[in-house]
Chains A and B, each alone.
Chain A
């Protein structure tokens, strides 16, 4: 356990050092990323104003809060992508990672965790700017703040498991981008990334309760936007833990089969 803690801290340090070297590129990436929620925000604020001040129970201020928190959650949800898996299998870089006495997923989790610290520092001025422009309505309690902190890391781990599983398809076949796109489409609709889940039809909301996507976007955002009871917060975090355990278990099974399949291409 001590070795893993040491490894996680060392890998996070490397990531922070490396990402600060690319701080300008990281900043432009983040600025590019806020275009998506700003469009959603403008559209839904306009609809809310036209409908007499609310849409689906959200005021323009609450929409602003939702989509500003969205920008942080989206950044926290950046993980090693299936395209990254495809690249490291095709290029042979996975071979180097397999020589380590440690599952490669640890490096992925640790490295991207380090990146998050850089992301949060870079995100703060952007969040302040968006708040100044869109005037969000926040009413945050300590419990919600703590739940949010846990939930964004829970979301990060769920998404790491899911996208790693998706990435491992490349052990069997090399052209899988169509499957990736299908996944991202489902995630857009069922996670709360496009709109708050309460604006979706009832059947979509019901379906989303049984799938992992909602716990990676809608749930962490809602913990901070302040529409959840204490019981809902605890249940939500419990659901995140459940999906992390399910994801890790499937990943472990798939990994065993995948590694037998691995043909160590690319030298």
Chain B
């Protein structure tokens, strides 16, 4: 089976004008303009197979959105190779654009003053979707996202979350094979995030669509992505299963203990993170987890004890900090 997305040594560099503050520097820059090369994406390579949902993680400015823009044909790469569904995205072939979608958390493709239904109909015309097929898909999406009471309201009267759901419907009406999702749950409440995650998962299941997702909400990544690619300063730091990321970079585990004597001193067993209603959370080095657990059980009257991996957010932080130090 051939890969849907193949990237090899892909780079995007920008020339950014640079000068010091002040009038003297401003005058000097008129005659001697200086530029600095910013390597937004620096020789990255990866492949994504059909139907995979991959989390693309990194801090702000890491190169995630630049990569998505190159994959969706919005940006020309500086160097390297990129193929999606056998197309070179920067050529912007209309056949290619018909098979992909790019959803950005801050993007607005709906007409502000009109009900979303009108914008959906425009999408039908843009992609030349047969009317019967369009109505089936539209109604199906409206049911899945529970939008029936909202599609007739002007978009300007919808909440941020409701609008985002409409944006996602509009972006998927042509049933793209590849989804580039850039922060699709940005700024939404937990319920709305969950709803959108479930919808993306269902779309992936039904259509075997390939999804590349960036998100700062680890709940999105944990719920949707088996595989993650971590990027920082334009370079890939990790590419593999989310579980491997946890194993490889998690230096500690979290122990939650409920004791019969809630006042017992636990600092000798590990770093106390919190104490709440008699339940204590400890951070313990991963290598010592079994030893500490056994000691706790033998030394104290324990009502309940759970051992968990560190939160993925913390692990990602750990990846960045380890690589920075390296």
Report A's interface with B, CB cutoff 8 A. Answer: 2-3, 6-7, 9-11, 13-14, 17-18, 21-22, 92-93, 95-96, 98-102, 259-260, 262-264, 267
Q: Among B76, B97, B118, B125, which residue has the most Cβ atoms of chain A within 10 A?
A: B125
B102 partner, pick from A3, A13, A14, A99, beta carbons under 8 A: A99
In chain B, residues 105-130, which have Cβ atoms closer than 8 Å to a Cβ of chain A? 106-109, 111, 113-114, 118-119, 121-122, 124-128
Q: Would B72 and A10 count as touching, CB distance under 8 A? A: no
Contact (A18, B122) CB under 8 Å given A99-B97, A260-B76, A267-B65: no
Q: Would B125 and A10 count as touching, CB distance under 8 A? A: yes
Which chain B residues border A267 with CB–CB below 8 Å? Answer: 65, 104, 106-107, 182
Q: Give the nearest-CB partner of A267 in chain B.
A: B106
Contact (A14, B126) CB under 8 Å given A99-B102, A263-B75, A264-B75: no
Q: Would A101 and B76 count as touching, CB distance under 8 A? A: no
Q: Would A101 and B72 count as touching, CB distance under 8 A? A: no
A-contact 0/1 string along B178-213, CB 8 Å cutoff: 000010000000000000000000000000000000
A-contact 0/1 string along B37-57, CB 8 Å cutoff: 000000000000000000000
Q: What is the bound-complex CA distance between A3 and B101, given in angstroms?
A: 19
Contact (A102, B126) CB under 8 Å given A260-B76, A264-B74: yes
Which chain A residues border B95 with CB–CB below 8 Å? Answer: 101
Output the least CB separation between A25 and chain B (Å).
12
Output the least CB separation between A36 and chain B (Å).
28
Q: Give the nearest-CB partner of B154 in chain A.
A: A21
Chain A interface, >50% SS class? helix
Which chain B residues border A2 with CB–CB below 8 Å? Answer: 128
Output the least CB separation between A188 and chain B (Å).
32
Output the least CB separation between A93 and chain B (Å).
8
Q: Would A101 and B65 count as touching, CB distance under 8 A? A: no
Output the least CB separation between B61 and chain A (Å).
13
Contact (A102, B113) CB under 8 Å given A96-B108, A262-B74: no
B125 partner, pick from A3, A22, A93, beta carbons under 8 A: A3
Which chain A residues border B128 with CB–CB below 8 Å? Answer: 2-3, 6
17 further interface pairs, Cβ-Cβ under 8 Å (given A3-B125, A96-B109): A11-B122, A14-B119, A14-B122, A17-B114, A17-B118, A18-B113, A18-B114, A22-B113, A92-B106, A95-B69, A98-B73, A99-B72, A99-B73, A101-B127, A102-B94, A262-B75, A263-B14
Which chain A residues border B118 with CB–CB below 8 Å? Answer: 13-14, 17
Which chain B residues border A7 with CB–CB below 8 Å? Answer: 122, 125-126
Q: What is the bound-complex CA distance between A210 and B182, given in angstroms?
A: 49
Which chain B residues border A262 with CB–CB below 8 Å? Answer: 74-75
Output the least CB separation between B91 and chain A (Å).
10
- A–B complex contacts, Cβ < 8 Å, 27 sampled: A2-B128, A6-B125, A11-B122, A13-B118, A14-B114, A18-B114, A92-B106, A95-B102, A95-B107, A96-B107, A96-B109, A98-B73, A98-B74, A98-B92, A99-B74, A99-B97, A99-B101, A99-B102, A100-B126, A101-B95, A101-B127, A263-B75, A264-B74, A264-B75, A267-B65, A267-B104, A267-B107
Which chain A residues border B100 with CB–CB below 8 Å? Answer: 99
Q: What is the bound-complex CA distance between A9 and B111, given in angstroms?
A: 16
Q: Does B83 contact A (CB under 8 A)?
A: no
Q: What is the bound-complex CA distance between A47 and B207, given in angstroms?
A: 74
Q: What is the bound-complex CA distance between A191 and B174, given in angstroms?
A: 44
Q: Would B122 and A101 count as touching, CB distance under 8 A? A: no
A10 partner, pick from B14, B74, B109, B121, beta carbons under 8 A: B121
Which chain A residues border B175 with CB–CB below 8 Å? Answer: none
Output the least CB separation between A193 and chain B (Å).
31
Q: What is the bound-complex CA distance between A98 and B69, given in angstroms?
A: 11
Q: What is the bound-complex CA distance between A264 and B73, given in angstroms?
A: 10
A18 partner, pick from B14, B92, B109, B111, beta carbons under 8 A: B111
Which chain B residues border A99 with CB–CB below 8 Å? Answer: 72-74, 97, 100-102
Q: Would B92 and A10 count as touching, CB distance under 8 A? A: no
Q: Give the nearest-CB partner of A95 in chain B.
A: B74
Output the least CB separation between B117 and chain A (Å).
11
Q: Does B135 contact A (CB under 8 A)?
A: no
Q: Would B97 and A100 count as touching, CB distance under 8 A? A: yes
Q: Give the nearest-CB partner of B102 in chain A.
A: A99
